[in-house]
Amino acid sequence: MTVPTATTQPTVLTGSSLIGGVSVRGTRGEVCAVNPVTGHTLTPAYGLVGVEEVDQAAELAWTAFASYRKTSPQARAAFLETIADNIAALGAALTDRVIAETGLPVPRVIGETGRTVGQLRLFAAVLREGNFHGARIDPAQPDRAPLPRPDIRLRSIALGPVAVFGASNFPLAFSVAGGDTASALAAGCPVIVKAHSAHPGTSELIGRAISAAVAHHELPIGVFSLLFGGGASVGTALVTHPRIKAVGFTGSRRGGLALVAAAASRPEPIPVYAEMSSINPVFVLPGALARNAAGLGEQWIASVVTGTGQLCTSPGLVFVPEGADGLAFTAAAVAAAAKVSAAPMLTAGIKDAFDRGAAAFHDHAGVQNLAAGTPNAAVVVGAAPQIFATDAATFLADPALQEEVFGPASLVVTVRDTIQMAQILAGLEGQLTVTLHTDADEPGSADLLEAAELRSGRVLFNGWPTGVEVVSAMVHGGPFPATSNAQGTSVGTLAIDRFLRPVSYQNVPAALLPEALRDDNPLGIFRQHNGQLARD
């Protein structure tokens, strides 16, 4: 195969996939982005690739893996920082394209760009700090009785090429150069991204910024590829390709489960880290409600409509005690929701799914529609908030009321007391977040916290779940169906662990040991030595 030189012009849109940095125009149909505000079709049209191109990208990635996994942490850190610099340098060209394809407001796009760049730089810092190695050394004890102990050392190594599926709702932070890609590249894994069809121009701009960084650092060309593919066939081909060793996905439960099933059916099953479904329940205890019922009701709506409700952590479910304070909470929420006009949704498909979900609540005999926002004729693909209410008995009787309605919809459930709250929480599906509005000494708080940590990846007190800080202590994950693997996180520095595996080295000659395990510690990292953490 003849491979041209990778492009260094990241702002030129071609409508092509990037396979090993080379523009490849797919011939399996076309897709165009649509501006959700105006309804206008955007150019260029993107040619869709097929199974042959998946195979080409995967083979290039496997070839690249042999040397890329052995690059030094410092070299990979510099590579990630160059990607960050290239994305930041896109400036208005990137911002304008994201807005045109998604309808997101300027502050959100600028903020998400900053988060994307920040994630890349965060993982560069992780590489330089060195804890990701997981280095452990248990020296030999030749005089131990009754049997001598061999020299045993451990470090983590890269899994292999990773397939990443771009998310619809975060065109930057969870897409081509998002947290999955950043953490996989940091781990030493080549990445193949299947771009989301809702924002192909944004995806190409970011893809070319990554490809330019690959070329700049003279890395193997297969370290990164970007594919535009239609339907499920390309995604399935990617997940089932024998060269792919892990998958990162953010999207619907149906899509995530399909990828999990495909990965499990392989002769060599591989891990799929799929973020899929969460309604992020909020529990407002009597003390907090008594102090600020109206304010909390207004804050609830503000959280629900953030990003037109198209956030993984949007609060789709709120529990409040029966009584006057609960009524004050809902009254304030109704008034706040009525003031909100319809805002853009990312795609017509997402809007249709939202309408179906809201209609199911409307048609439910035990559910009341408390409020709806106002229409907005200026937005072609838009949605206004829909706020619903029911009681605990109705909620417990119908599991369908736990289903996620992706968009600005939320259901408030009145309960008897905090004991019933804890019982309901214990029976909920796994969640990304659980939020408690309470004080530490309020009766029931400790029981709810204990139940919350069993049902979610993040427990919040006296706040709202929308907004995810990209820091070392963050977990953006949770028990099924929030994710397919509750042991991982897609945000924060622990995300790198998904794409590493531990290897023990027994009685390996000193000259052959990896740098992270050598006695002289040339990397200068902290290691566990005889069970004690030290930089020795």
Catalytic annotation, residues: 275, 312
CB atoms within 10 A of CB 345: 30
Q: Please, are residues 471 and 316 in contact by the beta-carbon 8 Å criterion?
A: no
Q: Which residues of 207-221 are buried (b: 16+ CB within 10 A; e: fewer)?
A: bbbbbbbbebeebbb
Structure-block tokens of residue 405: 């309605």
Distance (Å, whole) CA 198 – CA 277:
20
Sequence-ordered list of residues with C-beta below 8 angstroms from that of 106, at least 6 positions apart, any chain:
95, 99
Backbone angles phi, psi at 500, to 5 degrees: -125, 155
If phi > 0 it is left, if psi is from -120 to 50 it is alpha, else beta; for residue 415 that is beta
Distance (Å, whole) CA 59 – CA 145:
50
Q: Of 220, 166, 169, 170, nearest to 195 (Cα)?
A: 166
Peptide bond into 481 cis (omega under 30): yes
Distance (Å, whole) CA 130 – CA 118:
18
At residue 108's C-alpha, the angle toward residues 174 and 340, to 5°, is 115
Backbone angles phi, psi at 383, to 5 degrees: -145, 145
Query: Any idea which residue has 């045109």 for tokens?
Result: 100
Q: Please, are residues 85 and 210 in contact by the beta-carbon 8 Å criterion?
A: no
CB atoms within 10 A of CB 433: 29
Name the helix (H) or strand (E) containing 80.
helix 73-90
Distance (Å, whole) CA 254 – CA 257:
5
What is the DSSP pairing of strand 368-372 with strand 382-383? unpaired
Q: Of 437, 282, 251, 205, nearest to 346 (Cα)?
A: 251
Strand partners, 162: 191, 246
Kindly give the residue spans of alpha helices, DSSP state H, lying in 171-323: 179-187, 200-216, 233-240, 253-264, 286-305
Tell me the CB-side half-sphere exposure of residue 391, using CA atoms within 13 A.
6
Distance (Å, whole) CA 437 – CA 459:
11
In one-letter notation, the amino acid at residue 274 is: A
Residues constituting the chain: 536
Backbone angles phi, psi at 458, to 5 degrees: -145, 130
What is the DSSP pairing of strand 317-321 with strand 409-415? parallel
